[in-house]
Amino acid sequence: IKEFAKSNPDTLSVEELLYAATMTDNLDEKMSVYMTFSKIHAKDWRGPNNVGYIAVMKNDLEKAKAEFDKANSLSPNNPVINNNLGVIERANENNEKALEYYNSAKGAGPEVGANIGFLQMKEGDYTSAASNYGSVNSFNAALAQTLNGDNQTALKTIDASPAANQAAGYYLKAVIGARKQDK
């Protein structure tokens, strides 16, 4: 599938071509597959949405916004696209508009709750933030739990997160330990 995505992409089904992009961690290769997908399946919102996602990963927010707008024109009010448009608004410090997009994206996955939780944490609403992170195991989820006073849950969350063995994770564990008076 990966080779056909490069050499003969039009022979692959829609799902096979989308799957091909998941077969690599290289962002440029992913971008190439999604750009090809967008050309072959020009009426499918997933092409520009995924191109936009990779553009966000590459910190090209202008390109990402253009691609998300294109995806939105193909599938208006799609919760996945709205979540991504919210990410762009948050990156541009338009938190109120970001929250509007996130609220219209509810049900699109745990990322939406995490995005809402991030904004709530910035506003000092730690209870709502911790609730919105749900079962997401991330540094920010553990931070929200810590700030909300739920140190035991925060410790479990940080230990289950990718940050568990990183400097920020160790630092948060130290803060949790201090709050628990556990040397």
Amino acid at the residue 113: G
User: pLDDT tens, 17-52?
Assistant: 999 999 999 999 999 999 999 999 999 999 999 999
Q: Where would I find the H helices in the chain?
A: 2-7, 14-21, 27-40, 46-57, 61-74, 79-91, 95-103, 110-122, 126-133, 139-147, 151-159, 167-179
Q: Quick check: 39 and 26 in contact, CB under 8 A?
A: no
Residue with tokens 């949790």: 176
Model confidence, pTM: 0.85
Q: What pLDDT is attached to residue 2?
A: 86
Whole-angstrom Cα distance, residue 67 to residue 51?
7
Residue segments in the chain with a per-residue pLDDT below the cut of 70: none
Q: What pLDDT is attached to residue 7?
A: 86
Q: What pLDDT is attached to residue 9?
A: 87
